[in-house]
Structure 1
């Protein structure tokens, strides 16, 4: 698509795939894997999408109540043991992503099974890079750790957003977020500056 802003409309998966096996076994893992593939393609190509769809009165027997479709990310019949709010394939569509970036995005990836997020971007012109990353709790129930090669960041636990600002003399940036055994971002907001002696390269 080059540098053209792109939005893919009505992107999602049929939740009744494989003869409705997820419903019969009450195992939504196969749905998460299928939707994860869609989201990975979106991330790799830096495009936007309208996730299809949300049907507030969805049921397993009637589906989306339109054209015999069954793509809703919500259902009244979702087992509470999977999601108390009725969500389906939640781990796949609720994932970290950069909300906005002052700079040029280079690469973006998220490993759903490892909850490993990586984002690379670079400075454009003379303006210091900045980015804001949404971090959903579903992947980091015990908190998370952040690795950056330079700059400083601040996490707002209310909005679930990590705000990052670059520094002079550094053109290329990498941010990695992974689960922590001990929560770093739970009870209070934290601000961290990465000193020159403690910069960590992200591989």
Structure 2
């Protein structure tokens, strides 16, 4: 039977897969949840987040720096990091400047994969903020203003009810890759999942949960 070209996967499955791959890519554990949620939302918006992960190799993580901040007008240096890794920090900064100054304008320099920035207007709604992303001749600019939180997003609701349509080859490549984030199945690793009959057994090739058990 020919493998189908497309799969319908749940939001939960996508979150699990994305989180595992981010760990393999060297994203700091503290940043993984925010980056994961942004990438999943980007995928529901059709921005190609899974294809982005499929193309990534382990990279040196470098946090974005706040180069300047003057009365709600900030410049951020991204050091060549891709937008999905930087966007959560941009959102946090935008909301903080909004609360302090009533409005924020953030210019983002040295950013790669900026086509993911349009996910921010959707992600910002939960914070009661409205984000506008503009691309000019120079660096992209985010404008942040107050808005009424809408309590939810239609694209995420669709994903919850109908699943997400993903190209099968892409999904399975990422799925098998993501399994590398799991602990290798060995007698040693299995000791942490059940009772150890003889705690003095130290031979790593002996599965102590089965020592002395006859069939």
Q: Give the TM-score range, shorter chain.
A: under 0.3
**Which of the two has greater helix per residue?**
2
**Which of the two has greater strand per residue?**
1
Decide which structure has the larger Cα Rg and report it. 2
